[in-house]
Amino acid sequence: MTVIHDNLEATEAKMRARDVNVYYGDKQAIDSVSIDIPQKYVTAFIGPSGCGKSTFLRSLNRMNDTIASARVEGTIELDGEDIYKSGMDVVQLRARVGMVFQKPNPFPKSIYDNIAYGPKIHGFAEDKDDLDAIVERSLVRAGLWNEVKDRLADSGTALSGGQQQRLCIARAIAVDPEVILMDEPCSALDPIATAKIEELIDDLAGRYAIVIVTHSMQQAARVSQRTAFFHLGKVVEYGRTSDIFTNPLEERTKDYITGRYG
């Protein structure tokens, strides 16, 4: 069903989804999706609203567990291990598969405590110096260090929207994840803040497997190497980003990227 381009270079799959169905009660939101999330690449999910991009993204770190009516079928593997198997440590999984949300959601704590939160609960830091080092490193990687280094005690919620979102990315980085999931991370930001985040994603790309849901075709084209086009709960087409945008094989993909619907 999913058209997968055959010119893809061989990559190591960090995550592998097979025949995944997601239901909210009786309503099916994801319909037998099977795709790979390659290591060290940025994968973009595009598609019209309501087609299930967020739902699928949340099933990659089992955030769907927090929705009472949600039910996931099929297998999703992280490094070959089924994350839905019984006895899976969800807390550990979420530390390995981090997430950045659509609306920046820093905790109402200081900038420092926002970053230190994850390392503290996972026991990453031996002492205060360790923690300081982690906080600094995460903020540096998220490109926020220079802006906030003198005001680490200020509330995270006092930052601008773009800074808040980078704080959330820094917070995710601080627990040393292997995969970072981003659900429309720029949709609440202005163009300048958006450009900064895109730059940041580029910087992070070689280090983590990144999945980004986006409404903006340009953004997908700018930051991602792989693109999956979602439609009505299915992945219609999956391939190199450049191919999907210049040379789509499916009629529905072509319609969507030329703006005929969505």
Ligand X SMILES: Nc1ncnc2c1ncn2[C@@H]1O[C@H](COP(=O)(O)OP(=O)(O)O)[C@@H](O)[C@H]1O
Please count the CA atoms within 13 angstroms of the CA of 49 that sit on its side-chain side: 2
Site map for another protein, 155-184, x if CB under 8 A? x-x----------x--xx--x---------
Coil, strand or helix at 46: strand
Residue 181 CB, shortest distance to another protein, in Å, is: 8
Q: Which of 17, 29, 169, 211 binds ligand X (CB under 6 A)?
A: 29
Interface residue with another protein among 118, 143, 162, 233 (CB under 8 A) is 118
4 binds, among ligand X, another protein, Mg ion, none (CB under 5 to 8 A by kind): none
Cβ nearer to another protein, comparing 170 with 235:
170
Query: Which run of H or of E encompasses 98?
Result: strand 97-100
Nearer to ligand X, 52 or 143 (CB): 52
The total of other beta-carbon atoms located within 10 Å of residue 200's CB is: 21
51 part of the interface to ligand X, by CB under 6 A: yes
Contact, 118 vs 95, CB < 8 A?
A: yes
Q: Identify which of 73, 2, 1, 8 has the alpha carbon closest to the alpha carbon of residue 225.
A: 8
3-state helix, strand, coil in the chain (%, to 5): 40, 25, 35
Binding flag, residue 39, another protein (CB under 8 A): no
Amino acid found at 56? F
Nearer to another protein, 163 or 227 (CB): 163
Among 3, 4, 88, 93, binds another protein (CB under 8 A): 93
Count the helices and strands in the chain (H runs, E runs): 10, 12
CB of 179 to another protein, least distance (A): 12
Q: From the CB of 169, what's the least distance to another protein, in Å?
A: 12
Instruction: Give the residue with the Cβ less far from Mg ion, 55 or 138.
Output: 55
- Shortest approach of ligand X to residue 29 CB, angstroms? 4
Interface of this chain with Mg ion, residues 40 to 59, rule: CB under 5 A: 54
Backbone angles phi, psi at 66, to 5 degrees: -80, -10
Structure tokens at 15: 């995550």
Please state, in angstroms and as integers, the Cα–Cα distance from residue 2 to each residue in 10, 15, 62, 152, 199, following that order. 18, 17, 23, 47, 31
Beta bridge partners of 1: none
Binding interface with Mg ion (CB under 5 A): 54
Site residues (CB under 8 A) for another protein? 61, 63, 66, 91-95, 98-99, 101, 103, 105-109, 117-118, 121-122, 155, 157, 168, 171-172, 175
Footprint of ligand X on this chain (CB under 6 A)?
24, 29, 49-55, 67, 69
